Structure formats: structure tokens, C-alpha cells
Amino acid sequence: RDIIYIKETPQKFLPRGGFLHTNRLFFWLQLVPILTLGLCYLINRKTQRLRTDVRYARKLLAPRKAKQGISRARVCLERKNLAGFYDCVFTTLQGYLGDRFHLPSQGITASVIDEITSGKQISPEILSKLRDIFKECDMARYAASGLRQQDMQQTLNRLQEAIDYFEANKI
């Protein structure tokens, strides 16, 4: 009972299935780890550059900060807060230009704009808009008379146009 005899004639051999390396799905699944490794490498390089390259990080985050400043200015516009509106516009423009050109934000005024933009291909119309925004902000901060709701809306539109110009032209 416990001894099994050798079979003299084998049964029919049945194929068990194809080899794994001939399966197309197996081949394509081998690319998943390679692509994942490549993606991790690219993400690591990007975060490393953001940590080490301050100029790049400031330039990359400038539009997001400007968008937040513009939304705060819109809130002040809706509340008809003249001083708060022009303060938001002024700090937004200063911060954006400082981040964009890698300069200290607090030192940027209307008189510094020409120094910042010298040697760069910037439209004279945009430079004029920037100067006008700084003049209106200074006028609102130091002599608050004569500014209306319509002027505030135009200032906000000019600020948005200037920021859009700098983002579109990657200056």
C-alpha cells in the first residue's frame, strides 16, 4: 500500500499555461516601478530646488501671494474701506515686485521701478500703470481726499493687468 510503482506509460501531458514573461500585461506592469522611481526623483529635485534656491522659490510663489493680496483688496473694496484697500494694493504690488525680481519688498517704491526694470523688455504702458498705482496709493495714504469707488476699481484692474503681464511674459 505504501509503495507506489513506476508507471510504464505516462498519461497525456496537459499544458499548464503560458510562461509569465510572454504575457503582455506582465511586461507593462514592469514599467510601473520604473515610472514611480522617475516620478519620485523629479519630485525630490523640485522640492530640493525650492529649499535651496531662494530666488526660484520667491519667483514661483509670487503669483499666489499676489492673488491673495488682490482678493484682500477686493474685500476692502466691497466694504468701501479706502485706507485698507490702498494699503492692500500697495503691499501686494511691493511684495509681488520684490519676489519677482528678488529684491527686498519694503524698499520698492515708484522711484525704484525704473531701476528694477532697466535692461528688461517691459512695455512702457505697464511701467506707466505701475507708477500710477504707486502714486494713487501714496495719495490715498497721505492725502485721502478725492478718491472714489470707481478709482479704486480702476486701480485694482491696473494691478491685475500688470501682474498678468509679468506672468505672461515671464520677465
Q: Measured between alpha carbons, how far is 83 from 137 in angstroms, rounded to an integer?
A: 9
Q: In degrees rounded to 5, what are phi and psi of residue 32? A: -60, -50
Give per-residue pLDDT as tens, 118-166.
Answer: 778 888 899 999 999 999 888 887 876 666 778 889 999 999 999 999 9
- Cβ neighbours of residue 135 closer than 8 Å, sequence gap 6 or more: 110
Instruction: Tell me, yes or no, if the pTM score tops 0.85.
Output: no
Q: With beta carbons less than 8 A apart as the criterion, state whether 155 and 133 touch.
A: yes
**Dihedral sign computed on CA atoms, order 105, 106, 109, 115:** negative
pLDDT of residue 56: 93
Q: Which three cell numbers stand for residue 137?
A: 496709493
Q: With beta carbons less than 8 A apart as the criterion, state whether 134 and 93 touch.
A: yes
Q: Measured between alpha carbons, how far is 167 from 75 in angstroms, rounded to an integer?
A: 23
* Res. 62: pLDDT tops 80: yes
Give per-residue pLDDT as tens, 67-122.
Answer: 999 999 999 999 988 888 999 999 999 999 999 988 898 888 888 888 888 778 88
Q: With beta carbons less than 8 A apart as the criterion, state whether 93 and 133 touch.
A: yes
